[in-house]
A and B are shown apart, each in its own frame.
Chain A
Amino acid sequence: MSKLLAIVPAYNEADAIASTVADLRKNAPGWDVVVVDDGSTDATTKVATDAGAEVLRMPFNLGIGGAVQSGYLYARENDYDYAVQVDGDGQHDAAQIDDLLHHLIAHRGDVNMVTGSRFLTGDEEHGYRSSGARRLGIKIFGFILSRVTGRPVTDPTSGFRMCDRRAIELFANDYPHDYPEVEAVLMVHAHRLASAEIPVTMRERQGGVSSINASRSVFYMIKVLLAIFVGLLRARPVVEPGEPAAVSAQRGV
């Protein structure tokens, strides 16, 4: 039996965290739940604890990257086989966690990280809606990452993703700051692990505020673009002995 961990980053999500945890316990019963309270000023920790989750409380706000990485550190420390990220705001549907796990197990060894994509359903009507600027950003990142990794990446900003042991180890050691989703796909590729996507449907957020608002999105785009290109040149910050050379050594990457 594999050890399974759901990592739920939450910052001031007292309104939504209880139903998120309840959803996980009901629809993903085999999964342990750790809520990473990223220095919330509201009752997130108490609500999550009462809902039956383990809580890791950051002493101050680290940002989504640092918070999620704490979850991966926890997964590594407690020897979990698979870890899935689930947003604390209730956007992600716990019932779909099994789909992610099945994909990872079916492609064991070939795929190390699987992402739930909102844009693979082929159903624009019921698909995820967001502002035009944000959609454009997602398209641009998706295009770049698809070219770089050689696999289709349709939803690079999705935080609904599951990792196997190799990817847990990688993210526990090194995880991008600030807005990590896009860069994490690149990191996985740079470390010669593989990522894949499967279709999921996401709900509207249940409460709280998105970490990315309109005024920040331009900064976000530029910052992530910089990170992508720097990341391409860096490609592989830590090479482990006995493993193949950096991806950046390859032609056409």
Chain B
Amino acid sequence: MQTRLQIISVIVSGGLFLFVFELVRRKRLLERYALLWMFAAAVLLGLSVWSNLLNQVSTAVGVRYGPAALFAVALGFVVMLMLHFSLVISRLTDQNKILAQRVALLERRLSRAIGDEPEGDAESSEDLTASSSPR
């Protein structure tokens, strides 16, 4: 692999690793979602630093041009990450639905318990204390 490309890919993948690490440190990214990112960045960094390894990988999968194998590996990680996010989103959607349903049922029960009519307009929906205060 050309030296210039090697330098750039080392900087990019190393930078990605540090950036993800920093996000976790600042608690902006949960560890469990960061692991796949850091693993991807670490593998890409390893392949960029040890170009021999990259050459072996590219020969093994039948890619003649080393850097193309790097892109293939990176693309593989992108696909994995996207699938991972779809899983996370699906779970969150489901939990969100359950949460919304429970809120609606509890709100109904609450307003019945305090003998209050549900407010009619959508604007005041977020303010429970307002609707429960005596009119």
Question: Contact residues of A with B, CB < 8 Å?
Answer: 36, 40-43, 45-46, 49, 54-60, 62, 66, 69-70, 73-74, 77, 177
Contact = CB atoms under 8 A, between A and B. Distances in A.
B105 A73 contact: yes
A74 B105 contact: yes
B117 interface: yes
Question: What is the predominant secondary structure among interface residues of chain A facing chain B?
Answer: mixed
Interface stretch (B3-11, B24-32, B58-66, B95-103): B95-103
Contacts, number: 52
Contacts of B125: 57, 59
Interface of B: 97, 100-101, 103-105, 107-108, 117-122, 125
A193 to B, nearest CB: 22
Contacts of B100: 58-60, 62, 66
14 contacts: A45-B121, A49-B120, A55-B108, A57-B108, A57-B118, A58-B100, A62-B100, A62-B101, A66-B100, A69-B101, A70-B101, A73-B101, A73-B105, A77-B105
B66 to A, nearest CB: 40
B104 A58 contact: yes
Given A57-B107, A59-B103, A66 B118 contact: no
Contacts of B101: 58, 62, 66, 69-70, 73
Contact of A45 (B97, B103, B120): B120
A62 B24 CA distance: 32
Contacts of A58: 100-101, 104
B121 A55 contact: no
Given A62-B97, A66-B97, A57 B121 contact: no
B57 to A, nearest CB: 36
A166 B108 CA distance: 24
Contact of A56 (B108, B119, B121): B108
A70 B101 CA distance: 6
Given A49-B117, A62-B100, A66-B100, A56 B105 contact: yes
B118 to A, nearest CB: 6
Contacts of B120: 43, 45-46, 49
Nearest to B90: A177
Contacts of B117: 49
Nearest to B109: A77
Contacts of A177: 97
A46 B121 contact: yes
B104 A59 contact: yes
B122 to A, nearest CB: 6
A172 to B, nearest CB: 10
A177 B103 CA distance: 18
A125 B106 CA distance: 46
Contacts of A55: 108, 118
Contact of B108 (A59, A60, A62, A74): A74
A56 B122 contact: no
Contacts of A73: 101, 105
A177 B108 CA distance: 23
A170 to B, nearest CB: 16
Contacts of B103: 59
Given A49-B117, A62-B97, A70 B104 contact: yes
Nearest to A42: B122
Contacts of B121: 43, 45-46
